[in-house]
Amino acid sequence: MAQSPPMEVLCSPLLTLDELGAGLASLTVTVRMGSTGVTHAPHCRQVGKKAAAEQTLTVGELRAAGQIRPCRTCGGAVIQKLSDSQAKQLNALIPILETRVEAMRQAEREQRAQRERVHRADTIDKRAGHIVDGGSWKIAAERKYSDRYPANPRAAVVPCSDCDAEATIGFQPRSLEVTYACPAASTHGFLRLDDDEEPLATWPHRQPNRLVALSLVAPVLAGQDTSWALTYGTRVDDYQGTISALETFDQEHPTQLRLTPDIRCGDCGGPLNTWPGTTSEEGQHKARYSCDNRHEDSRYRSHEKSRVDEEIDWILHRRLHDHPSWATAPELEPDEQQVATRADDLARKISIFDSRVGAAKAVAELVETRARLAQELSQVTRIREQGALATAELPRYASGPASYAPRWEFTSLARTLLTTRIDVTKQAITVITPLDDGTPLHRLLRTREIQDELTELRHRQRTLEQELAALDRN
Ligand SMILES: [Zn+2]
Ligand SMILES: [Zn+2]
Ligand SMILES: [Zn+2]
């Protein structure tokens, strides 16, 4: 009773009104309510000038008025004398409340410890990142500690980023050197842009490799501190697990419904991945389409996204110039069943992702994957409700002043619906559309257009003949 005066028990949000019971809820108390939610007995010296006037109300009414805290000096109220049964009920609640208060404090302590642990782990992870990325002035700061580290090198085997061999990522704690070695060729994992320059490491840009390298470096920096291991110890596995769970799902649930254009590298035929632009302390980088295959000239291909999109739009605009209404041909609308299936699949992928991602949830690539899945699901939901053509804003194109506009910016979904495949090289962009001459859709739409025109002409002819006949009769 000493630790939990009656008002603490009566007003605690950790006990429900039901638990108090009608007997205690109807107990009357006389209080002055302070502006910060602290209640006082009317005579209390701690009552502030802004406190409300004295009032007498039941415990139930007081609790309904919002969360309150009883003053520690006066006990928070003058309480009506308790009957024997009320006193008994109150006493029975005290140990229950004390257990709950202790559990709540424990949970708070754990949360605080957890936050501190994640913060320490992040700091270590960031420092490890400087070492893995190398070359930065920040690595010089790390050298101050390196002679304390164990001398034993650490290593992990990974699939080579350039061939099928098993490459080794190594870390020398004393020299802070992170290395990549493929037994097939010493150039693998590196790109030599110019003979005079150091070869550029490409392997850290493959997300899993970088995570593996971090997991070699970070535990050395952490030493006795277990925060990194507890927070990120399973990150490589969680990353791989998430990626392969999503891949397995995709293999088992192939979809015919594309939500982004089929844009390909014109040099190797591989898909071009969209790399979203970034704005960071190092400056602004524009969004790009890039091919992840190394080509015969040992280079990767990458194209500025806005330029490619502009060119695609220009080609589509020209193709639709004489027939803007073709942009809303019902035949372009995807199959309803496919749309419904895609919505279900996306919802399932999101739940697979969430249950699998664990310690890898802050990995930038996965953050992006999660955001893309959510965005695709909301797009598919809109397609389900309004249709794809409307979602793609194509009616605006077909009915608007499009054919007179010198340029037109299509939405990404519009580019998807209006194209079959797009090939991009440095020199040219080739856009294949379902509306191209000779395609079944082109034949169908042109036939329909000609028939409509003939119907109109026949109607016009009839009108003219009737007029002529009328003239003859007069
Ligand atoms: Zn008081
Ligand atoms: Zn290799
Ligand atoms: Zn390519």
DSSP per position, 117-139: HHHHHHHHHHHHHHHHH-SSTHH
| CA 73 to ligand 1 center in whole angstroms | 5
The neighbour count for residue 353, using CB atoms within 10 Å, is 20
| CA 268 to ligand 3 center in whole angstroms | 4
pLDDT for the residue numbered 294: 82
| CA 67 to ligand 1 center in whole angstroms | 16
Query: How far is it, in rounded angstroms, from Cα 256 to Cα 420?
Result: 12
Indicate the pairing of strand 263-265 with strand 421-424. parallel
User: What is the token pair recorded at 115?
Assistant: 């936050």
| CA 55 to ligand 1 center in whole angstroms | 14
Residue 196 binned pLDDT confidence (cut-offs 50, 70, 90): low
pLDDT at 141 over 90: no
Residue 136 binned pLDDT confidence (cut-offs 50, 70, 90): low
pLDDT at 201 over 90: no
Residue 277 binned pLDDT confidence (cut-offs 50, 70, 90): confident
Residue 255 binned pLDDT confidence (cut-offs 50, 70, 90): confident
Q: What integer is the mean pLDDT of 114-140?
A: 90
List of residues 6+ apart from 270 with CB closer than 8 A: 264, 291, 292, 293
Q: What integer is the mean pLDDT of 221-225?
A: 95
DSSP structural state of residue 327: G
Residue 133 binned pLDDT confidence (cut-offs 50, 70, 90): confident
Residue 66 binned pLDDT confidence (cut-offs 50, 70, 90): confident
Please give the residue that has the higher pLDDT: either 279 or 420.
Answer: 420
Ligand with an atom nearest the CA of residue 73: 1
| CA 28 to ligand 1 center in whole angstroms | 17
pLDDT tens-digit series, residues 355-399? 999 999 999 889 999 999 999 999 999 999 999 999 999 999 988
pLDDT at 2 over 50: no
CB 27 within 8 A of CB 86: yes
pLDDT for the residue numbered 427: 93
pLDDT tens-digit series, residues 428-453? 999 999 999 999 999 999 999 999 99
- Residue matched to tokens 């299509």: 410
Residue 328 binned pLDDT confidence (cut-offs 50, 70, 90): very high
| CA 166 to ligand 2 center in whole angstroms | 7
Please give the residue that has the higher pLDDT: either 263 or 274.
Answer: 263
Please give the residue that has the higher pLDDT: either 199 or 222.
Answer: 222
CB 441 within 8 A of CB 419: no
Ligand with an atom nearest the CA of residue 7: 1
| CA 246 to ligand 3 center in whole angstroms | 24
204 HSE (CA, 13 A, CB side): 15
Poorest-pLDDT segment among 28-32, 314-318, 380-384, 406-410: 406-410
CB 168 within 8 A of CB 157: yes
| CA 71 to ligand 1 center in whole angstroms | 4
pLDDT tens-digit series, residues 144-194? 888 899 999 999 999 998 888 999 999 999 999 999 999 999 889 988 766
CB 263 within 8 A of CB 288: no
pLDDT at 239 over 60: yes
The neighbour count for residue 389, using CB atoms within 10 Å, is 23
Ligand with an atom nearest the CA of residue 266: 3
Residue 279 binned pLDDT confidence (cut-offs 50, 70, 90): confident
Ligand with an atom nearest the CA of residue 188: 2
Q: What is the mean pLDDT of the chain?
A: 91
pLDDT at 221 over 50: yes
Ligand with an atom nearest the CA of residue 424: 3
Residues with CB under 5 A from ligand 3 (ion): 265, 267-268, 270, 291, 293, 301
* E strand or H helix at 180: strand 177-181
pLDDT for the residue numbered 1: 37
| CA 212 to ligand 3 center in whole angstroms | 26
- The pTM (predicted TM-score) of the whole model is 0.74
* E-state strands within 219-281: 263-265, 273-275, 278-280
| CA 89 to ligand 1 center in whole angstroms | 25
Ligand with an atom nearest the CA of residue 292: 3
- Residue matched to tokens 């070695």: 181
| CA 81 to ligand 1 center in whole angstroms | 19
pLDDT for the residue numbered 193: 67
pLDDT for the residue numbered 372: 93
Residue 49 binned pLDDT confidence (cut-offs 50, 70, 90): confident
| CA 24 to ligand 1 center in whole angstroms | 22
Query: How far is it, in rounded angstroms, from Cα 104 to Cα 354?
Result: 27
| Residue-wise DSSP of 195-212 | TTSPPEE-GGGSHHHHHH
